[in-house]
Amino acid sequence: MSVEASKETLEFQTEARQILHLMTHSLYSNKEIFLRELVSNASDACDKLRFEALADDSLYDGDSELSIQVDFDEEAKTITISDNGIGMSRQEVIDNVGTIASSGTKKFLEAMSGDQAKDAQMIGQFGVGFYSSFIVADKVTMETRRAGAAADEAVRWESDGEGSFSLENIEKDSRGTKVILHLKEGEAEFASPYRLKAIIKQYSDHISIPVMMTEQEMDEEGNPKKDDDGNVVTNEERVNSASALWARDKADITDEEYGEFYKHVSLDFADPLTWIHSKVEGNQSYTSLLYVPTNPPFDLFDREHKRGVKLYVKRIFIMDDAEHLMPNYLRFIKGVIDSDDLPLNVSREILQQNKVIDRIRGASVKKVLGMLESLKKDDDKEKYETFWKSFGQVLKEGPIEDMANKERIAKLLWFASTHNDSDEQNVTLDEYISRMPEGQDKIYYIIADNYTAAKNSPHLEVFKKKGIEVLLLTDRVDEWLVSHLTEFDGKKLQSVARGTLDIDEEEDKKELEEAEKAYSSVIEHASKVLEGKIKEIRLSQRLTDSPSCLVLEEHDMSPQMQQIMEAAGQYAPKSQPVLELNAEHNLVKKLNDITDDDLFEDYTHLLFEQAQLAAGAPLEDAAGFVKRVNKLLEK
């Protein structure tokens, strides 16, 4: 196929067009990040070539000195970013530039609010990459040739960032990628050596690949020097320090440098919340630089999205998203781990079975937990509050996944509680235990769909009366959490909506026994009315104000857990609840006086159905409930 015949015009994927539009209209105050993104892409391309060349040295084709070149033309108003990295084939260009390959793209676009400041932050979490070119350019030309491909297999991509792009085969005498930005009107300030150098030093100094710029030599009068043939004399200057930041001594790294490196590895615009930088030497040598972000990514709960830290071996990039280095409940952690002990050709499969990885992972988890403990102990708890609001629900997965660190993770958890008047999750298990009255040996909790339902649950009535604190659990993960975190510091975690309670004095127990005798016929009659819907009916120790509530036995599956399992496509066995009645309530007392069977059945069903509603469970016969209420209201 001839070069001319290979030219075609293709439409951007719908999501790509939307991202382009958002970027050009939302990131006007962060224009300079285009250079950070393009230099970062070039660095990644060099890293990928170095990795692939481990298995096939011929990919270097005699040129193993990897670098990034940034050039400009003030007259033509262009900026060119070139690299001699891995390059792309024609199909890779279509896949990587014509579309946005992310399962979360749709969710990301739906999360857009129309608020430019918030949308800019969201775009940063999503990662803008190559598309950031159009923040300052009204036309972008990219020429690329895959390492190992012939010179005539190179590709030119060109677009104005609107609806389409052109693609054609060209000849290119070297591998790698060149991106040419044709600057918009009013953006000529970027075609300046001083502006470009400043941006590179600010955002890309940490990149381990040299970033070079061609400088004109000036004479004493400030004019460009020329050689004997009248050509302007130039020289190459390395702009960045070109050393792996994590390999440098901590004392030599500023907070600003740590922050910019975080943005490089995370594609985030915001500064990190905190970080830890450590070197381990001895039988096993590795360096880790791990960050806690400030904001959660929009796809934090997308289980299919790959996450993990970047893995390097002896400063050579091996893989992104090395999930074996960090457990799933710490999937928000960003950063790098650089090992001296792993083989350079390590693969994901090898990682699964490598004991070195297991040791690095174990130690890294402990470092992260220590970092969070320090954050929580800080006199200024605002940072931990920020962390908890962003990642608390994810950390709650920890005691489920990580048995070895279960108690340590449990100490980091925060909950809402009846001790406070707000829905803020800021009560620790240690704080709860410190407030327990003498004689209490359990940590009480209730699970509900939301804070209001939990706070107003009839199951709390006797606890409020006796001044006993109850934790209010309303996150979807809480049901899983308490099924694995069954005790803490020797105290059993006990649901106030399960089993029988043992918090009453002897006098209360005697009153209950007498009431059971008085209501024995009522309970027998009501049990027949609700046969098949409940396990049994009993008088309640929990209720002081409400007439009825539903209680599960200790090992029954809750309605919340049933919903979670069904949503995941798993079979969830239904559990029949126990109906508890408050013998002191007028509606329950009325049952003792009703002689009409139909009226008795209506009252019994209503007591059961309002207990279902209070528990957040759906009614099987909502129309029948309404009919019964109306019938009794008429009377």
Q: Is the dihedral of CA 137, 139, 140, 141 positive or negative?
A: negative
Q: What is the mean pLDDT of the chain?
A: 86
pLDDT at 1: 43
Q: Given the DSSP bridges, would you call strands 211-216 and 68-73 parallel, antiparallel or unpaired?
A: parallel
In our burial notation (b when 16+ CB lie closer than 10 A, e otherwise), range 582-601 reads bbebeebeebeebeeeeebb
- Comparing 179-188, 196-205, 581-590, the range with the smallest average pLDDT is 196-205
Residue 308 has pLDDT above 90, yes or no: no
d(CA 345, CA 38): 27
pLDDT band at residue 116 under the 50/70/90 scheme? low
pLDDT at 582: 93
| 553 and 499 Cβ atoms separated by less than 8 Å | yes
What superfamily would CATH give domain 508-634? Heat shock protein 90, C-terminal domain (1.20.120.790)
Residues carrying CATH 3.40.50.11260, the chain: 414-495
Architecture of the 247-385 domain: 2-Layer Sandwich (3.30)
Mean pLDDT of the 292-303 span: 82
The confidence score (pLDDT) of residue 29 equals 59
Overall average pLDDT of the 231-254 stretch = 87
The whole-number pLDDT of residue 98 equals 63
User: Which of 63-72, 243-252, 307-316, 546-555 has the highest mean predicted lDDT (pLDDT)?
Assistant: 63-72
Three-state secondary-structure class, residue 299: coil
Domain 8-229 homologous superfamily, CATH: Histidine kinase-like ATPase, C-terminal domain (3.30.565.10)
Distances (CA, A) of 322 to 154, 277, 357, 361, 424: 31, 18, 10, 11, 34
Tokens describing residue 258 = 């740590």
Average pLDDT estimate for 58-81: 94
Rounded CA separation 478/498 (Å): 15
Strand 274-280 vs strand 164-170: parallel, antiparallel, or unpaired? Answer: unpaired
Phi, psi of 95 (to 5 degrees): -70, -40
Beta-bridge mates of residue 69: 82, 212
pLDDT for residue 424 is more than 90: yes
Nearest to 325 by CA among 299, 302, 297, 356: 356
Residue 105 has a pLDDT of 52
Instruction: Return the closest-CA partner of residue 432 out of 451, 450, 413.
Output: 413
8 A C-beta contact, residue 200 and residue 39: yes
pLDDT, position 355 = 85
Residue 107, pLDDT above cutoff 60? no
Ranges 30-44, 340-354, 423-437: which has the least confidence = 340-354
Which is it for the CA torsion 371, 374, 379, 381, positive or negative?
Answer: positive
Distance CA 137, CA 77 (A): 10
Phi, psi of 495 (to 5 degrees): -75, 135
- pLDDT of 48 over the 70 cut: yes
Place of tokens 């006007």: 28
Q: What is the pLDDT of residue 101?
A: 45
Interacting residues of 567 by C-beta distance below 8 A, sequence separation 6+: none
Q: Tell which residue, 331, 336, 332, 333, has the closest CA to residue 320.
A: 336
Exposed / middle / buried, residue 386 (Cβ in 10 Å: 0-12, 13-18, 19+): middle
Query: Given the structure tokens 């857990």, which residue do they identify?
Result: 561
Residue range(s) of every CATH 1.20.120.790 domain in the chain: 508-634
CATH number among 3.40.50.1220, 3.10.290.10, 3.40.50.11260, 3.40.50.720, domain 414-495: 3.40.50.11260
Q: In the chain, which segments carry CATH 3.30.565.10?
A: 8-229
Residue 233: Cβ within 10 Å count = 13
- Contact in structure between 57 and 125 (CB atoms under 8 Å): no
Place of tokens 């060149």: 178
SS (H, E, C) 73-109: ECCCCEEEEEECCCCCCHHHHHHHHCCCCCCCHHHHH
pLDDT tens-digit map of 121-155: 545 444 457 888 888 999 999 999 999 999 999 99
Most confident listed range (314-328, 527-541, 547-561): 527-541
Average pLDDT, integer, range 171-192: 94
pLDDT digits (tens, 9 = 90+) for 471-491: 999 998 998 899 999 999 999
Strand partners, 570: none
Q: Is the pLDDT of residue 413 over 90?
A: yes
